[in-house]
Structure 1
Amino acid sequence: MLGRRKGRWDRANAAVASLELPPAVFKTCPWQPRDLVEMGLRQWLRCCAPALHDGQVIGMPSRAIDEAWHGLILCTARYAAFCRTAYGQFLHHHPEGGSLPGVDPDPMSEQLRRTVVAWSMVSAPGERCIMWDLDRHVGVDHPWGIDPERVAAIQQDRHLRLNRTERG
């Protein structure tokens, strides 16, 4: 289960905030406004900290964020240094159909559920998540995303589980 304490993710949050994203990151990511795509990428990278800590893979909620992440990965030295600073380990890419032989990955619906849970762990109080419907806002054909009702249901379920754990 993804860990709980927000202070635990300060290292990753600081690394994400200070990460310089050169124009090469957006070479195959044409959607605008770029600031919005960059914000989405930073939010997703923050979500990776609790997932990596717990040995989990989270899902990618946005094609625009995915393209920007691919661009960052191609800046190999910068990406590797960022991963060391933010997470203490390398953040591997696990595309659908690209898992290691003999590894049966969780369905994307479960990976996306974990992304929502991770966001609730790393977000600042009152911070708005733009990842769930970013593709629609920047005009991606065939947008990815997570329905607001599903996000709310996942967050409610997490809240109920935490309350039960604290009481029991």
Structure 2
Amino acid sequence: MKKILIANRGEIALRIMRTARRLGIATVAIYSEVDRHARHVRMADEAVCVGPAPSAQSYLNAAKIIEEARRLKVDGIHPGYGFLSENADFARAVRKAGIRFIGPSAESIQLMGSKLAAKEAVQLYDIPMVPGVERAIDDPKEAIRIAQTIGFPVLIKASAGGGGKG
């Protein structure tokens, strides 16, 4: 690869840029109108505005990001973490556009998007896991009974999610 677009901002974008630079790969930063003077924009070899400040109109605007990646003739798109990194449709669209998605396959992203499905898939490989349940629990009383059986402390986690809204 000769040039990549980093579909993120901040520290993760800077880390990706430093690594790309060490590998002799040119970088393209994306930014929202409010981030025009951000450090990741200044550090990149090229930069392109992908929309106004709200993330939904800029950093999460997959179509605009891919459009700019094509226009700038990048070889790959690195999503960083958060934003579009856990979006299987984005990974598919990047590949469909003929650009390398620098990350897991769309299928892996899809599978890992559901913690229940991911846990089920991992069990096929005899990977040790902490005790827990393999289904959604809707009843708080049932959750308490299970926690008492498993033992404390417990970790309660949504079975799906992502997108950096933690």
Q: TM-score, normalised by structure 2?
A: 0.29
User: Radius of gyration: which is bigger?
Assistant: 2
Q: Which has the higher helix share?
A: 1
Higher relative contact order at CA 8 Å, sep ≥6: structure 1 or structure 2? Answer: 1
